[in-house]
Amino acid sequence: MSKPNPGAARRSAARLAAVQALYSMEITGVGAIQALDEFRTRMENEPRGKMAEPDVNLVSLLVNGVSADCKDLDVQITHGLTRDWTVDRLEAVLRAILRAGAFELKSRPQTPARVAITEYVDVAHAFYSGPEPGLVNAVMDRMARNLRAGEFQGNGAPGNGV
């Protein structure tokens, strides 16, 4: 039986928090700085309960990275979608999940592709009980095979990572 990894739990919580901030940015039109300020205020004022405290640095990296690279990330997502779908057709939460996932695949090689896919499918499960997590899985897998082809060659077993 493996011991719980508090660092992994904090990174998982950070991914969820980043998606919430990205969604808020899209719906309210606020920028990354204001969305991150609102996130920090919520962290200070809301009880955490049993949930891990998010890794604030990862939240900031994801929110700022997606904000700065959104157009290129949308191109990656479009390549991962079936040909009759566009990023604009996706619901706002799905866009936020896939943009954060695309950014992490593109910019955080220390996170193995399969780990990133699993993490963002888990984030999708936090918001959806229907087919959406399957969509996230399929699109993230296609993006990973494009952005990180080397991780899928041979037997496909990724190295150990974060």
DSSP the chain: -PPP-HHHHHHHHHHHHHHHHHHHHHHH---HHHHHHHHHHHHHHS--TTSPPP-HHHHHHHHHHHHHHHHHHHHHHHHHS-TT--GGGS-HHHHHHHHHHHHHHHH-TTS-HHHHHHHHHHHHHHH-SSSHHHHHHHHHHHHHHHHTGGGGSTT----S--
pLDDT for the residue numbered 4:
61
Residues 127-145: what's their mean pLDDT?
Answer: 96
pTM: 0.89
pLDDT for the residue numbered 158:
44
pLDDT digits (tens, 9 = 90+) for 4-27: 677 899 999 999 999 999 999 999
Domains of the chain: 7-149 (1.10.940.10)
